[in-house]
Amino acid sequence: MSRNAPAIDAQRLSLILNDLRLPAIKLIWPDFTTRADKEGWPGARLLAALAEHEIAERDRRRIERHLGEARLPPVIGRAILRKSGL
């Protein structure tokens, strides 16, 4: 967690991210904020990185869900995941 974020703010942020249904950001924000602090990222870059991560995770979960619903043989499902880079 970032040195600049007191524990109470981290707990509050966790609740906010739950309410907004942003699970990927909830998991990754401590690492991203630490990196942003070290590298001097502007706020917009940090926000963009978090949003891009959330979108990528949603895409990954959607593809996995659709593959499961399709009930394809496991070999085909794994091949599709490999081809899509997941």
Question: What is the residue extent of each domain of the chain?
Answer: 7-83
The mean pLDDT of the chain is 87
- Residue 54 has a CB neighbour count (10 Å cut-off) of 20
Q: Residue 13 has what DSSP assignment?
A: H
Calculate mean pLDDT across residues 31-57.
97
What would the pLDDT profile of 46-86 be if each residue is shown by its tens digit? 999 999 999 999 999 998 898 888 887 877 767 777 777 76
Residue 20: what pLDDT?
97
Place of tokens 């949003």: 51
Residue 23: what pLDDT?
97
Q: Residue 86 has what DSSP assignment?
A: -
Place of tokens 């990185």: 49
